[in-house]
Amino acid sequence: MEQTEAILIRKQAWSDTSLITTWLTSGHGKITAMARAARRPGSQFAGRLDLFHKAEIGYAMPKRGSLHTLREVRLVEVFAATSASNLFLCGYFAELIDLVTQPGEPFPEIYDLFSRATAHLSRSPASMRALEFFESELCRMLGIHDGTACARAAIETYCGRIPSSRMAALQLLNPRTTP
């Protein structure tokens, strides 16, 4: 069984009782793990599989394929959004990271950036400055931004699109924002 610190960036129902979770880790990159029986009352995962929580996770490697099996979760730091804009901004960051990273490819700098962003958004209001800083730092880490052009444009060129959650976050940060 592998052990690592991770932040939950996505979860989706797999069955009436199970979830598929996507985690960003420092040493193992992005991993996807099945959390069997996570949706059952009294599950060992109850209250531990909320988005953007930092946790120490234990998972079993698959014999074939790329879907790991989540075995244990111990919360390290709880993400406590103080507003909808904080939650939406963190969601945009997670969607962006999911878009630019490949499964199993460690990128500790991106993990650290996201960890700092979730900690910041747990204690401070969301802002355009936070959004622009995150995009700029991510572009710098990926080597796609030289600091002279718009980070959003660099991301769009690199990925072929910008996550739609960016517009929702922008509208919450500035209700007068137009598409």
pLDDT reported for residue 175: 62
pLDDT reported for residue 146: 62
- Residues sharing a CB contact under 8 Å with residue 105, sequence separation 6 or more, in sequence order: 29, 30
Residue 113: name the closest of 95, 97, 129, 92 by CA: 97
Q: Is-above-0.85 flag for pTM? A: yes
Residue 21: name the closest of 72, 84, 63, 96 by CA: 72
Count of all residues that appear for the chain in the document: 179
Kindly give the confidence (pLDDT) of every residue in the chain, 179 residues in length, as a single tens digit, with 9 standing for 90 and above.
Answer: 889 999 999 999 999 999 999 999 988 999 999 999 998 888 899 889 999 999 999 999 888 888 999 999 999 999 988 888 899 999 999 999 999 999 989 999 999 999 999 999 999 999 999 999 999 999 999 988 766 668 888 888 888 888 888 888 888 887 654 44
User: What does DSSP say about strands 67-77 and 2-13: parallel, antiparallel, or unpaired?
Assistant: unpaired
pLDDT reported for residue 91: 94
Q: What's the CA gap between 83 and 105, in Å, rounded?
A: 32
Using an 8 Å Cβ cutoff, are 86 and 152 in contact?
no
The helix (run of H) or strand (run of E) holding residue 58 is strand 54-60
DSSP annotation of 66 reads S
- Can you tell me which residue has the tokens 């079993």? 60
Using an 8 Å Cβ cutoff, are 141 and 110 in contact?
yes
Q: Where are the alpha helices (DSSP H) in 55-164?
A: 84-100, 108-123, 128-142, 151-159
